[in-house]
């Protein structure tokens, strides 16, 4: 009988340890920031800067480097916010125009780590500058 209880105890422990949460949604943390567009003339002199409205910002959960996991459009003032994230490592990226790149765009990336200690952690990545 003790053997059965011991096996049930071990099964319960393995079930609890397999419930570890990974990067992604379901948590209480937030990553936020803003996107600032910069327009240059033909000789590379800055003409104007402005908040990028309806500009796509992407997030990658963990080490997944092939695909993005979610995207959001910036607001009227260029801000964005990814909510309800678990502790872990995330990559935020958006695209900036680059006339020298074969596709005409380059990715601007930032890697962020949300620690396990704080439940409602809010990380501000600041201003991401892109060429428009």
Q: Does position 131 have pLDDT exceeding 60, yes or no? A: yes
Range of the domain at 51: 22-131
- Asked if the structure places residue 13 within a domain, the reply is no
Sheet arrangement for strand 70-73:
70-73, 56-61, 88-97, 105-114
Arithmetic mean of pLDDT, 54-77: 90
- Asked if the structure places residue 97 within a domain, the reply is yes
Say what the pTM is: 0.79
Q: How many domains does the chain have?
A: 1
Q: Does position 18 have pLDDT exceeding 60, yes or no? A: no
Give residue-wise pLDDT tens across range 91-128. Answer: 999 999 998 899 999 999 999 999 887 668 899 999 99
Check residue 51 and give its pLDDT.
98
- Asked if the structure places residue 5 within a domain, the reply is no
Q: pLDDT tier at 20 (50, 70, 90 boundaries)?
A: low
CATH of the domain at 48: 2.60.40.10
Nearest to 88 by CA among 7, 48, 31: 31
């Amino acid at each position: 009988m003790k053997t059965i209880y011991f096996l049930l105890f071990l099964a319960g422990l393995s079930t609890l340890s397999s419930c570890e949460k990974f990067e992604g949604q379901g948590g209480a943390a937030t990553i936020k920031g803003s996107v600032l567009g910069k327009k240059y003339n033909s000789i590379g002199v800055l003409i104007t800067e402005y908040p990028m409205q309806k500009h796509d910002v992407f997030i990658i959960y963990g080490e997944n480097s092939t695909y993005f996991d979610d995207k959001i459009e910036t607001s009227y003032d260029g801000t964005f916010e990814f909510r309800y994230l678990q502790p872990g490592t995330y990559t935020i990226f958006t695209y900036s125009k680059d006339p020298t790149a074969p596709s005409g765009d380059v990715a601007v990336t930032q890697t962020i780590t949300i620690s396990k200690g704080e439940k409602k952690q809010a990380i501000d990545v600041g201003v991401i500058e892109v060429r428009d």
